[in-house]
Amino acid sequence: MTVKDWPGLSDRTILVTGAAAGIGRGVAEAVGKAGARVVIADIDADGLTQLASELSTSGANVLAIQADMTDSAQVEHMVNRAVEEFGGLDGLVLAAGGFPQRKLVEEITPDEWDRGITQNLSSAFYCCRAAVPHMKSQGGGTIVVVASAAGRTVNRQQTAYYGAAKTGLLGLTRHLAFELGEHGIRVNAVAPGVTLTPRIERLYDESRLEAIRQTVPLGRVAEVDDQVGPVLFLLSAQSSYITGATLDVSGGRVLV
């Protein structure tokens, strides 16, 4: 199945946060190829400019918005601008987040804890809070939360605030699915395992990646493309009777 084969994506408006790099970038590229109007948002202005140029060159209808997802006012402006530009909002992919380095719990300062929770959990709440009224008014929509295997299990590569925030995202996903189903809004999550994004390539050396491979039943670390298909599935009409679910995309790593 190619990206053009996903039903329900063509001629839809889909906003992707964290779009300048990694999984968010991969999803933005794919929904653009599928014929959607794609809104790309990130704090990284240079990354957005580069991606917007590439998407436009490929024929996608794209709007780039620089925004800090930890700032609720900026998030509100981002969503309103997307709706004003394209007349509505059909899909929202929440891919912003991450952590700069692993720290033991006693090494994490209160400010680092607050920042980590805000960056990975509160940011998703801000985006949903801004997007849901528009989706309700148009009779439906689809939200896909990019959580993490860190919300499903624990390992020595994680840091405490990241695991706590990603676990919180799964709870938020379930609650929103329950609350918003009557309005035709589906909310699901993916829980990626370690994926070879630019951030991971900076953080992990080859020996650490090899140690991770040894814990994955499929025997390899994920590529970004491994994460894109599951997100498109949850955005598309192929998953029209799925809501409140979390899809593990970790090569089976949560089994061990």
Joined together, the tokens standing for residue 158 give 């994680």
Residue 198, C-beta contacts closer than 8 angstroms, at least 6 positions apart = 21, 22
Q: What would the pLDDT profile of 37-70 be if each residue is shown by its tens digit? A: 999 999 999 999 999 999 999 999 999 999 999 9
Most confident of 118-132, 141-155, 211-225: 118-132
Instruction: Say whether 18 sits in a helix, a strand or coil.
Output: coil
Taking the complete model, does pTM exceed 0.85, yes or no? yes
Contact (CB, 8 A) for 36 and 9? yes
C-alpha dihedral sign at 41, 67, 97, 174? negative
Contact (CB, 8 A) for 157 and 101? no
Of the pLDDT bands very low, low, confident and very high (cuts 50, 70, 90), residue 99 is: confident
- The pLDDT assigned to 43 comes to 97
Average per-residue pLDDT in the chain? 93
Q: What would the pLDDT profile of 189-211 be if each residue is shown by its tens digit? A: 999 988 888 777 877 788 888 88
- The pLDDT assigned to 145 comes to 98
Q: Is 162 considered catalytic here?
A: yes
Whether pLDDT at 255 is above 80: no
Residue 1, C-beta contacts closer than 8 angstroms, at least 6 positions apart = none
β-pairing, 13-17 vs 91-94, is parallel
Whether pLDDT at 247 is above 60: yes
Whether pLDDT at 1 is above 70: no
Q: Which region among 95-109, 165-179, 222-236 has the lowest average model confidence (pLDDT)?
A: 95-109
- Ordered domains of the chain (ranges, CATH): 3-193+224-243 (3.40.50.720)
- The pLDDT assigned to 144 comes to 98
Dihedral, 226, 56, 134, 26 alpha carbons, nearest 10: 10
Query: How far, in Å, CA of 162 to CA of 124, rounded?
Result: 14
For 4, other C-beta atoms within 10 Å of its C-beta total: 11
- The pLDDT assigned to 253 comes to 82
Choosing from 126, 162, 204, 241, the catalytic residue is: 162
> Can you say whether residue 218 is alpha, beta or left, with left for phi > 0 and alpha for psi between -120 and 50 degrees?
alpha
Beta strands, E only, the chain:
13-17, 37-42, 61-66, 91-94, 141-146, 185-192, 246-249
Contact (CB, 8 A) for 96 and 70? no
What phi, psi does 21 have (nearest 5°)?
A: -155, 165
